Chains A and B, each alone.
Chain A
Amino acid sequence: MSDVTVATGDLLPSFEVTPDTVQLFCYSAITWNPHRIHYDAPYAREAEGYSDVLVQGPLMGSWLMRLCADWVAPWGRVDTMTYRTTTSVMPGVRLLVGGLVVTGGATPEAEIWVELPDGTKATHGRVTAVARR
């Protein structure tokens, strides 16, 4: 069993990110996603009624998976992850990607989120992990 113990109440190694249109472009490119809503600002405003292009929902998931991979790297592996985005996010907004262990031990579980500056959790989810034997 790994020496590292994961305790209820531990914080995951959070990070901040402020997505810009360059990052959105690169994410659409690597995921081969031609949706206009992520790069065509006049289209996003006039056809869809948003104030700007939108951050891709899967990119929120990708940040959460980065968070979870960093969390488990010293002691184990990620087993399952569930998440849902309920608030649209625009580029230029500072996001906090973080989490909290809700069940410690060798098969820990954590709540994870992507939080807006006003405290709204734009994306919210859960992760389970398994410690290396």
Chain B
Amino acid sequence: MESLLTDEARAWLGREQTFPLYQVTRMQIAQYAHTVGITDPVHFDLEAARRAGHADVVAPLGFHLVIRHSVPNLIPLQELAEDGGSEDMTPPVAASRRMAGESSTAFHQPILAGDEIRLTKRIGSMEEKSGRSGPLVFVGYDLEYRREATGDLVVSERYVRILR
């Protein structure tokens, strides 16, 4: 079977990207909470958040997904592909489809309104396997979300993308 993982693609292992700061607002937190059907007032109401011991409105568990998907797509619309997607650190592999694999997330601290979060993304693994429809490439991304003001790691994540 012909390999998809060329030397050119393998050279992407260890490649790292730092994205523009994501400024978290109460508005975005409320929009995310409503979209996912979350009703706890600590995500909408400053007083409720303070009574629960937070300095500001707190983002629901999962808000880092907003950051993960937003910042790589902060490019001019004419640079998007025909399908509306962006390249987003995809190694040059002769594959026609890309699919989401496993996501593993560790939650260290809550994200609050007013935080500025810096996402860095690194290609930590690249592996070829044979599937029923031919070769598959598994690309593992290591993501770190840090609060810019303190450098604190708030969320860390490993995300696998499957190319075939």
- Give chain A's interface residues, CB within 8 Å of chain B: 15, 17, 23, 26-27, 29-37, 40, 43, 47, 57-59, 61-63, 65-66, 68-69, 73, 77-85
Contact = CB atoms under 8 A, between A and B. Distances in A.
Given A34-B73, A63-B36, A47 B31 contact: no
B17 interface: no
Nearest to A44: B83
Nearest to A81: B105
Nearest to B85: A35
B149 interface: no
B63 to A, nearest CB: 9
B106 interface: yes
B103 A30 contact: no
B9 interface: no
Interface string B84-128: 111000000000000011111111000000000000000000000
Contacts, number: 93
Chain B binding surface SS class: mixed
A80 B105 CA distance: 6
Interface in B64-94: 65-66, 68-70, 73-74, 77, 80, 83-86
12 contacts: A26-B35, A33-B69, A34-B77, A61-B62, A61-B65, A62-B36, A65-B62, A66-B36, A66-B62, A77-B107, A79-B107, A82-B103
B38 A66 contact: yes
Given A82-B102, A84-B103, 6 more contacts: A27-B35, A61-B62, A61-B65, A66-B36, A79-B107, A81-B107
Interface of B: 28, 31-32, 34-38, 40, 60-62, 65-66, 68-70, 73-74, 77, 80, 83-86, 100-107
A47 B62 contact: no
A65 B100 contact: no
Given A36-B83, A36-B84, A81-B105, A31 B74 contact: no
Contact of A66 (B37, B83, B103, B104): B37
A114 to B, nearest CB: 13
A17 B37 contact: yes
B84 A35 contact: yes
